């Protein structure tokens, strides 16, 4: 894995999302945020997450999707259940993954973070392949950027979010770094 000057990682699938913008000037990338997502909830393997992150989700295709009408979000990366990695936003850009958030007194975590989504939910264990891919990607990002912290979405938005959830094994993940 190599990261080019724009923040695109080689060796991973790329699906460009329009849901990003420039980081504020002098905003160093100092935080990795780990998330989970499944669309529809608890269902894996379909194209819905990529469609959601690229504003192409048919919100009439499933009852749950109606609440996503007009929502514009993205993450830098998605790690599928099989360990496949998709990049939606170059690391140098600000993806819209954290929402209203704060970390150690700093607000607007999107400004200084990279978001990694794991295809999963709060009620299902993650796969061995996901842990391996997450560790590999994280190691590369830690070498490329001045990342000082790794947190879950629940750590930066505790009143709104619960992901990556109780089945995410932080000790296993950190051991792989």
Would you name the residues annotated as active-site residues?
Answer: 117
Q: Name the phi and psi angles at 64, rounded to 5.
A: -65, -30
- CA separation, residue 170 to residues 133, 135, 177 (Å): 14, 11, 11
Long-range Cβ contact pairs of 168-177 (< 8 A, separation 24 or more): 168/34, 168/36, 168/118, 168/126, 169/126, 169/131, 172/131, 173/34, 173/131, 173/134, 173/135, 173/138, 174/150, 176/131, 176/132, 176/134, 176/135, 176/138, 177/135, 177/138, 177/139, 177/142
């Amino acid at each position: 894995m190599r990261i080019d000057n724009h923040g695109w990682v080689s060796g991973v699938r790329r699906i460009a999302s329009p849901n990003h913008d420039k980081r504020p000037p002098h905003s160093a990338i100092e935080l990795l945020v780990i998330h989970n997502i499944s669309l529809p909830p608890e269902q894996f393997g379909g194209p819905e997450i990529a469609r959601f992150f690229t504003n192409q989700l048919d919100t009439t295709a499933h009852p749950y999707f109606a609440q996503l009408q007009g929502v514009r979000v993205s993450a830098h990366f998605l790690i599928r259940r099989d360990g496949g990695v998709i990049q939606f936003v170059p690391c140098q850009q600000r993806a819209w993954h954290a929402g209203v958030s704060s970390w150690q007194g700093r607000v607007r975590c999107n400004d200084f973070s990279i978001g990694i989504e794991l295809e999963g939910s709060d009620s299902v264990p993650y796969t061995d392949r996901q842990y391996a891919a997450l560790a590999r990607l994280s190691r590369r990002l830690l070498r490329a950027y001045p990342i000082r912290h790794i947190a879950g979405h629940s750590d930066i938005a505790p009143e709104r979010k619960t992901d990556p959830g109780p089945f995410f094994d932080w000790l296993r993940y950190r051991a792989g770094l």
